[in-house]
Amino acid sequence: MISYYDLHCYAYSGKMKTPEYVIQCSSCLLVFVTVGSPLVSCSTTYRTEAHVIEEITSTVWKSLNREFLHVEKNFVGMDRRRASSTCTSTGSWDYEVFLSFKGEDTRYNFTDHLYAALYQKGIRTFRLDEIRGEEVASALFKAIEKSRCILVVLSKYFAHSRWCLDELVKIMECRNQNGKVILPVFYHVDPSDVRKEEGWYGEALAQHESRNIFGHKTQRWRAALREVGNLS
C-alpha cells in the first residue's frame, strides 16, 4: 500500500527551500518539488531510491557551493589577514556534512547508501557508528560545530534515543546562533508528527518523561523537534 508520508527531504537555509522528496514505496518514489521555491519549478516524477539519494547529494553539493560563494563574496575588498581570521572563526571546517541518524533504523540501508553517495562525490561526511558514551559527547558536539551543514535523518525511532535528541538540540542551536545549513530528511515519518510531537515521536517523548530522570532536557528536546519539524 502506498503511503503519502514515507520520506521527505527538505534543504533549508534561512528562508530558502529546495526540493522535497517523498518515498511512496520500496520500488518507486514520488518526488514533489516545494511550491514557491526560488530555485526550481513544480513537477512530479517517479524515481528509484538511488535517484532520490542522488538528488539529495546534489542538493547538499549545491548548498555547500552557495555557502562558499557567499563567503567569498563577503571577502571581496578585505585584506588577507582579516580574511584569514574570518575563515578561522566561521569557515574552518573539518567536514562538509554531519550525518545525524538513529542507527537501528537506517544504518544498514538508507543512511548507509546516502553516506556512500556523499563519499563518492568527495563530500567529507562525519558519521558516528560506534556505541555512544559520555566520553564521546564533547567530540560529537565539536564535529557538529566543525561541519558546514547537517543532514538529519528523522526516522521512526529517532526520538527514542536521548543521544539523537541531544544531537538535535545542539544542531538547532548552531542553526540559530550561526546560521548553519540544516537538511532534515523525514524517513517513514510524517513531518507533522515531528512538529506536533505525535505518533512515534509523541510516544517516545512520553516514555522519556515517564522515567522522570531527564528533567528540563525534555523541554529542550520538544523545542528542537518542533523547530526541525517546522522546516517542512
Q: Is pTM, for the whole model, over 0.75? A: no
> Grid coordinates representing 209?
518523561
Which among 187, 175, 183 has a CA at the least distance from the CA of 125? 183
Can you say how many angstroms the Cα of residue 132 is from the centroid of all Cα atoms in its chain? 19
Please report which residue ranges of 76-197 form alpha helices under DSSP H.
80-90, 103-106, 110-120, 134-145, 162-178, 191-196
Q: Binning pLDDT at 50, 70 and 90, where does residue 29 land?
A: very low
CATH architecture of 7-230: 3-Layer(aba) Sandwich (3.40)
- DSSP symbol at 160: G
Sign of CA dihedral 122, 119, 184, 93: negative
Q: Could you report the per-residue pLDDT of 52-88, keeping only the tens digit for each? A: 788 889 989 988 887 655 444 443 343 333 333 323 3
Q: List the beta bridge partners of residue 230.
A: none
Checking 24-28 for CB contacts under 8 A at 24+ apart, the result is none
Q: Is 227 annotated as catalytic?
A: no
Tell me whether strands 12-13 and 16-17 are parallel, antiparallel or unpaired.
antiparallel
Catalytic residue among 167, 203, 209, 227: 167
Number of neighbours of residue 83 by Cβ within 10 angstroms? 17
CA distances to 35, 102, 185 from 226, rounded to whole Å, are: 22, 18, 14
Secondary structure, 3-state, 18-36: CCEEEECCCCCEEEECCCC
Of the chain, the percentage scoring pLDDT greater than 90 comes to 42
**183-215 confidence digits (pLDDT tens):** 998 888 899 999 999 999 999 999 999 887 777
- As a whole number, the mean pLDDT across the chain is 73
Q: Residue written as cell 523545542?
A: 223
What is the SS3 assignment for 36-74?
CCCCCCCCEEEECHHHHHHHHHHHHHHHHHHHHHHHHHH
